[in-house]
Structure formats: C-alpha cells, structure tokens
Amino acid sequence: MTGLSVRQLRVVFDGFVAVDGVDLDVPSGDVRFIIGPNGAGKTTLIDAITGLAKAGGSVTFDGQELLGRKVHRIARLGVGRTFQNSTVFEELTVLQNLDIAAGWSRGPLTLLRRRTSVPPEVQHALETIRLTAARDQLAGTLPHGQKQWLEIGMLLVQNARLFLLDEPVAGMSHEERDATGQLLGELSRDHTVVVIEHDMDFLRRFARTVTVMHAGRILSEGTVAEVQADPRVQEVYLGHAMEAGNA
C-alpha cells in the first residue's frame, strides 16, 4: 500500500516490552494522531520507524522496508521526524537553517558557497511554514511555535514525504496551535502526517483518524468520535477528561 505500513512491530529494552506486536496502517494523505498515557510506547514506535530503536517485525513506507536500515538511509527514503525539544540551529537565521537542510545531500564545498538567490524549494518551504517575513531572523529568537514550524520546513526541503511529529504543539499559544493545525492539513495534500499528541482539544479539531496506544499495544483506532465513544479508551486513558471536553 501507499503510505506507512507497520506489521507485528516489537521493541524490547532489557527484557521490557515497550512495543508489543503493533500493526498500523497510515494511508497517504492521512493526518493520524497517536495518543495514549505516558509509557504507552508512542515515541518508541516512532523511534523504531526512524531507526533509532532496534525492532522486530516490518515497517514499510511506500513499499520500501525501513527496519534494519541506518537512520540517514531511512531519512533519504522520505521519512522525516521532529522531536519534543527543538533541534534548529539557533545561532543561524531561518533562511540559513532551511538552506543547510536543503543541502544535506550536497558536498561541504557547495554548502560554503555564498548563495545569490533563494532556491525554489526553500522559498516554497518559507511560504508553507508561514515564516517568509522572518527569513532573516535568528532561529534562536523565534517563539516556540515558530521553531516547530521551522523544523517542519527543514523536513520539507529534505523532500520528506512522511512527517512524524512528536508533540508539535506543546507549549504553543492558542493562535500558534490553530496555525499548526492548518499547516498539518496543508501538508497532508502531498504528504502523510503522523502526530504524537496529548492536547485533546487540538486532536478533536485537526485529527482525521486516531490510534490509541496502551502498554505497548494498540487499544483503539478510528475517527475522533469513534475513539471518544470507546469505553476502553475512557477507562484506561481519557476517562472523564474526554467526556468533559464534549460538555
């Protein structure tokens, strides 16, 4: 299938089973939210997909097997991820960050040459992530939300087709969360988007489908309404919090 396909994924750390036989399909164009309590295995799942955690089973993206490949080779197959903590180059400008990311496959001498114009892919990324006006601003001076957008832009210029975003709206203002949700929708036109998230209001507004993990396994899956109505989800994770959100 086109998109992300996970089959019987298993991750074990020193005898502890962190991910226990997960099957997951995320078709192209989906905005899939993965939720669950702390320790459910959400980030470990993403680590396994991107090569940061050794795993058994199978993970394919657009028909290419990812397990067993090195991290940089997985990235070259179009798999990009962000982390909970920003990884932008804070002492460089927004434009320089994007230019470095766009040149990840170029040689060091090419990267050192002074640019006389903005490459089309970088300009497109600037517009997509809403940072055109901030292109010459130091990344370290950006608000938290805009740093997250810059990381997404850096994946865009690396030609990522699968975006794995780990709590992208943590610490954002209400306005930044709204803009990020709109950005995810725009990305999904040409990309597959997977979001690990704890913000239930954000999930209700922007998720297309939801996967709930618990104790390393998938507990429930479906639309936001279907997951909210699942008594297993209410019992082990969301409980009254999700019901209150509907009041």
Torsion-angle region of residue 216: left (phi > 0), alpha (psi -120 to 50) or beta? left
Cβ-based neighbours of 11, under 8 Å, separated by 6 or more: 17, 18, 19, 41, 44, 45, 47, 48, 53, 54, 55, 56, 216
How far does CA 40 lie from the centroid of its chain?
A: 17
d(CA 204, CA 228): 10
pLDDT of residue 237: 64
Closest among 229, 234, 237 to 213, alpha carbons compared: 237
CATH of the domain at 109: 3.40.50.300
Domain carrying residue 190:
3-245
Domain count, the chain: 1
Cβ 17 vs Cβ 57: under 8 Å: no
Torsion of CA 34, 158, 155, 181, to 10 degrees: -80
Positions in the chain short of pLDDT 50: 105-109, 111-112, 239-247
Instruction: Give the pLDDT score at 246.
Output: 36
